[in-house]
Amino acid sequence: MRTSHLLLTFMFCWFTSLAFAQIDTEANLQAINQKRQKINRIGMITLGSWAIGNIATAGFSISNAEGSRKHFHQMNLGWGAVNLALAGFGYYSALTEPQLLSLNETVDKHYQIQKILLLNSGLDLAYMASGLYLRERAKNDANRQDMFEGFGNSLILQGGFLFVFDVTLYLIHRTNNPKVQQLLENVQLSYNQIGFVYQF
């Protein structure tokens, strides 16, 4: 009789601790996902604002611009349209993504966005390098000097902004890494007294 009471008490404590641990884990998962989505929304608003600024400036200036400046504004107009579309899609995705994700989904999305931003940063450097290349080409091509110089200047400007944008967003997302690591470390509940391990 006494043994059965001890067993029932142990089982009650065990299930209670698991329930609280699961609630705590789900709350932490939701907080991590909410923060990632908030960072992405703010990032997309920033990118969209930059795009709108480029479209407005280029649209206003392009008709009166001449030479390389005209090509500079043409390229900025194109970049603005693409960036605005990307920002709109990214904002919608961050807004509609569910906050209640599993541990695996949370970890995957958390590190996936960081990998994408690092990849984008490399592409941004390539844009700037291409801009520098076009500016050099402009010196040796009299027929297309204005176009190469204007496009080159635009690539340097857009690549420079996007590089700062992507690296900043990457570093902000990294601030959540310790919380994700802590969550992964606490995935197991160990009861050394009886050698039992429970995994979520």
Instruction: Fill in the amino acid letter for 100.
Output: L
Boundaries of domain holding 36: 28-180
Does residue 12 lie within any of the structural domains? no
Instruction: Fill in the amino acid letter for 79.
Output: W
Question: Do 127 and 158 meet the contact criterion of CB atoms below 8 Å apart?
Answer: yes
Does residue 40 lie within any of the structural domains? yes
- pTM of the prediction? 0.79
pLDDT for the residue numbered 37: 93
Does residue 139 lie within any of the structural domains? yes
Tell me the helices (H) and strands (E) count for the chain, helix number first. 5, 2
**pLDDT band, very low/low/confident/very high, at 183 (cuts 50, 70, 90):** confident
| Whether the predicted pLDDT of 141 surpasses 50 | yes
| Whether the predicted pLDDT of 103 surpasses 80 | yes
* Number of independent structural domains in the chain: 1
Does residue 187 lie within any of the structural domains? no
| Whether the predicted pLDDT of 12 surpasses 90 | no
CA–CA separation, 149 and 147 (whole Å): 5
Mean pLDDT on 64-90 = 95
In whole angstroms, how large is the CA radius of gyration of the chain? 26
Question: 198 by DSSP, 3-state: which?
Answer: strand
| Whether the predicted pLDDT of 126 surpasses 50 | yes
Does residue 21 lie within any of the structural domains? no
Does residue 133 lie within any of the structural domains? yes
| Whether the predicted pLDDT of 195 surpasses 50 | no
Question: How far, CA to CA in Å, does 59 sit from each of 42, 65, 76, 159?
Answer: 25, 10, 9, 20
Does residue 62 lie within any of the structural domains? yes
Mean pLDDT on 120-140 = 96
Question: 39 by DSSP, 3-state: which?
Answer: helix
Does residue 73 lie within any of the structural domains? yes
Greater confidence, 35 or 17?
35
DSSP 97: S
**pLDDT band, very low/low/confident/very high, at 4 (cuts 50, 70, 90):** low
pLDDT for the residue numbered 187: 61
| Whether the predicted pLDDT of 188 surpasses 90 | no
